[in-house]
Structure 1
């Protein structure tokens, strides 16, 4: 297969518009249990629509941005399948040491092609599929019920396909199994549970599904803060936990601060200014996801403890921003350790 055959150009016409938006999910506090639902693990990766027409393949992120450049091994694998065409919905994931690694996945977003090629060999990605929009026969099945689309997807990901490169996400209509998946979420490969109506169509761009995440709390030390943009008031608190060596590592942030308390809180924090703030892993500098302004932070004496709610841990850090629940003046900072967020259950989901 030539290199060109595994790449797409703007002139290629696929069976569905390349700018089609994936169906999305709205957040819910609990799993629905009134019947008629299909439950699936919510994978901790990059959402991806994959298009194929003849030898041409394209990968699109949820934002609509092209992903093919960053995952050449996935493009080549899909281009090499015997089927002529399809449009499928799934999640790009990378596995390291038997577990999915979001950090390894993020490393793919690198500008150097030589670096991408190296990583694609060392830590190849896998596409985990959970829906089909167009069949290999060229039929648009977006208006079909999920049960029919799922049957087509099961037939598509047959036993002869290399499961290391292309896999079928498990699903169930058993609420008890969904509860087990949810209890395991947040500390391993999955980020929660996605719920879909079994008789529902695929509605691009609409929040026609539900997602439920496992939310947990932890007591963290406030090791620093950032000011609001163009303001003299605090914008976010930088959170830390003590590692096994007794050093305070930066683990994330919370910006859930009410406007009524920003002024008083800013003055309180400014009185505690003292470097280094974090004597273990400190907040990093600017990256492709942050501006120079957002990377500036003020170190504090490690005296304040706050309880926050979080949903997912990746690489000993909170993946997303956290919700500030309450201040904990009753807690000693040294009691705020990583034991609170370490996985309590094995990650036994297989795909």
Structure 2
């Protein structure tokens, strides 16, 4: 591969803000998928993740689409997403990271992914990293004007009011906020020069276990549960953002609730399932990204309740890691159910992909 910009290349990032910023900005929906920079040099195609890991082997259908729909020589920044019906499905997208080639081929046919482009970094012999964003956006629209599914160009707008509307409406299609980009910025890898506004809600959850931190004998994450309408405690995600001092304090706070084994624990049955079932449901599932990473967990009597902040749901689980807010000693575990969660109004993903910028 011999392009004006060659891999590895870290993507430019956004910093989180609480409110929608104003100014000379370009607003775009925040797509919930795998950040990906596409490099194409003729038949050579590389899909590179945010962490500069190769995604190419996991998405053969996108490699073919890139060869068919993108210019012969180009570097394009965007997001790999996967849809189920009218919404994005991040959980199904995660299932695409699989070690077996036969499974990858099957998933490419049964759950094909799409690529949503939002920046053009190089085309032909020209590198565009030093070109202002506003001009890069114009070039992106021009260069990918004839591209067809599963390659899409994200909608964009310079209207603050449109951005606010997108923030409210597009969550129903599985998107998780809005990104605001200063028009004058050049592309600076690994720098947080853009802004992202994400949904944040709170929920009261049962703390039914924890994982140790990778650095040593302090708490790494709390395992969270909610009761469903059948009275079963479902694992819904983790809370993991703690200073190291707080992680050490949590060890002592949780000690009285620790169980020597899983007998009588709501998740006891999961420990007896096959390894394939465990990978789908058990809190100690092996990470698809790290492979051998130990995600074993310590069971706690399900008696503690905490309030967490979360940005959205993916099926019956939190879409991303939740943020611990406080203990709720005034709440009983059985009162922590799915009914408390706010459900966004449904919105068809086709309308997001098909709408032109205001």
Same fold by TM-score, threshold 0.5 exceeded? yes
Q: Deviations over 1:47-78 (max 9, x none)?
A: 11112222222211121122211111111121
Aligned partners of 1:19 and 1:292: how far apart in 2?
24
Equivalent position of 1:7 in the other structure:
none
Equivalent position of 2:347 in the other structure:
347
Tell me if 1:50 matches 2:38: yes
Equivalent pair of 1:186/1:313 in contact (CA under 8 Å): no
Aligned partners of 1:82 and 1:282: how far apart in 2?
40
Tell me if 1:207 matches 2:192: yes
Structure 1 residue ranges without an equivalent (≥5): 1-11
Return closer, same or farther for 1:223/1:70 CA change in 2, 3 Å cut-off.
same
Tell me if 1:250 matches 2:215: no
Equivalent pair of 1:46/1:92 in contact (CA under 8 Å): yes
Equivalent position of 1:149 in the other structure:
136
Within a 5 Å distance, the mapping from 1:1-351 to structure 2 comes to 12-33=1-22, 35-81=23-69, 83-135=71-123, 137-158=124-145, 160-162=146-148, 164-184=149-169, 188-228=173-213, 233-257=218-242, 265-274=250-259, 275=262, 276-279=264-267, 282-289=282-289, 294-341=294-341, 343-349=343-349, 350-351=352-353
More helix by share: 2
Equivalent pair of 2:172/2:348 in contact (CA under 8 Å): no
Return closer, same or farther for 1:78/1:230 CA change in 2, 3 Å cut-off.
closer
Aligned partners of 1:256 and 1:200: how far apart in 2?
30
Aligned partners of 1:125 and 1:84: how far apart in 2?
21
Shift of 1:45: 0.7
Equivalent pair of 2:78/2:116 in contact (CA under 8 Å): yes
Aligned partners of 1:21 and 1:268: how far apart in 2?
40
Equivalent pair of 1:224/1:277 in contact (CA under 8 Å): no
Aligned partners of 2:27 and 2:12: how far apart in 1?
15
The count of aligned residue pairs is 336
Aligned partners of 1:147 and 1:323: how far apart in 2?
35
The TM-score with structure 2 as length reference comes to: 0.84
The TM-score with structure 1 as length reference comes to: 0.86
Specify the SS of the correspondent of 1:22: coil
Structure 2 residue ranges without an equivalent (≥5): 271-280, 354-358
